[in-house]
A = this chain, B = another copy of it.
Amino acid sequence: MDQPLPVILPGSVAPGRDPLEPKAGRDTVRRHNLSLVLRAVRDAGEITRAGVSARVGLTRAAISSLVEQLLESGFLSESGKTFSGQAGRPGTVLKVARTGVAGIGVEINVDYVSVCVVDLAGTDRVRLVEHLDNRGTPPGQVLHRAAAIAARALTSALEQDLSPVGVALAVPGLVSDGTVREAPNLGWSRVVAEAPFTAALAALCPGLPALPIRSENEANLAALAELWFGGSGRVRTFLYVTGEIGVGGALVLNGELLRGAHGYAGEIGHVVVAPDGPRCRCGSRGCLEQYAGQNALLRAAGVDGCGGADAVTELERRARAGDGRVLDALERAGLMLGRVLAGAVNLFDPDAVVLGGIYRELTPWLMPPAAQELCAGVVSGLWPAAGNRLRPASPAADASRGAAALVVQDVLTDPLSFGTRVVPG
């Protein structure tokens, strides 16, 4: 179904209480147009007011007024440089500010915590990664550790004249309404994560206002990072699968995350690929994770040191050296992955399947068997053997960066809501 355009003449809007559609007063319209202008400048990188006017489709006068407000609030900056590539008299060049609003993303995974600060342009300005064993630690303590790393990132952001306006937490599990319902590989069940994290962060940064927080599944956020920063492909509908201790998944449909009815969509790691297979932590049997999760893969390959990044490096080294047991384990994991992916492609019809996490490095070995299963299992040859529809994720596909960018996305959608938090650059 095509969406009707929710366009209403503000002049004819009555104060009705039960509207069919969103309506708009002048304030809403201005906020929306501020967002249009800010996003136009962000997407262009550098652009004149005339360029913004052509791109957004509002008059030069309207654009000038909106740009003025965005400059004053610190969202845009202006350089004296003129720009003559466009018709009309040359103007100064607008860019999004490299100081001021920013977002903090925090990924809590099984064996590491990663924190990233992203500015309004989407650039990764601070990045801290610490390898920790979060599985053996009570959730409160893990959240406290993560807050300590976030506090260090925040200090570093402030030193760069950035002013983070929010935090997003990425967790490898089912997240809904601020609660981690289940994160089996962390051993978390019904963990309220947001309030303890912000309390810890506020205690560590006593001078700063408390930051709003949200939490989200880590595969979802890595998929958003791939969508926003993955570059080349410009694919807007894809299935993202990430190999970690578990196997995460996310569906992106026309550039939007598909969350499902309760926010739990994309749980590809617990799709059963062999009903009589080994028991999984989720309670089921023969889940994909039991064949293609990091620990299962290391175990099958005979590589010790489950859980560490070193073990995956060792796996890769042995695969390169032609170790038969390792190659067999990777082939089996690729086949199982391909089977589940073929089913997912039949259901969701994506333009691409993107392999992230440890799969990115293991692509040379996982891709051939997975591609074979996709060709065989996707209905009526809709998955051609040629082409690069099955592809490794870009290095940008990182859950903490996606989390930070999600905060920035809120700013881009309604800059005025964040106006008071801005530190002028």
A164 within 8 A of B: no
Give A35 to B260 CA distance when docked, in angstroms: 28
A386 within 8 A of B: no
Q: Is the CB of A343 within 8 A of B272?
A: yes
A340 within 8 A of B: yes
Interface locus among A20-28, A89-97, A112-120, A324-332: A20-28
- Chain copies in complex: 2
CB contact under 8 A between A21 and B36, given known A57-B13, A264-B382: yes
A60 within 8 A of B: yes
Q: Is the CB of B12 within 8 A of A271?
A: no
- Chain B residues with Cβ under 8 A from A284's Cβ? 376-377, 379
A residues contacting the other copy or chain, number (CB 8 A): 94
Give A271 to B380 CA distance when docked, in angstroms: 12
Give A227 to B107 CA distance when docked, in angstroms: 38
Q: Is the CB of A8 within 8 A of B58?
A: yes
- Chain B residues with Cβ under 8 A from A283's Cβ? 376, 380-381
A309 within 8 A of B: no
Residue in contact with A260 in the complex, picked from B24, B57, B59, B349, CB distance below 8 Å: B349
Give A382 to B260 CA distance when docked, in angstroms: 13
Give A32 to B285 CA distance when docked, in angstroms: 52
**Which residue on chain B has the smallest CB distance to residue A406?**
B1
**Which residue on chain B has the smallest CB distance to residue A340?**
B343
Give A399 to B57 CA distance when docked, in angstroms: 41
Residue in contact with A267 in the complex, picked from B21, B32, B347, CB distance below 8 Å: B347
Task: Report A's interface with B, CB cutoff 8 A.
Answer: 1-10, 12-24, 26, 28-29, 32-33, 35-36, 39-40, 43, 53-62, 174, 181-182, 184, 236-237, 249, 251, 253, 256-268, 270-272, 275, 282-285, 339-340, 342-344, 346-351, 376-382, 409, 413-414
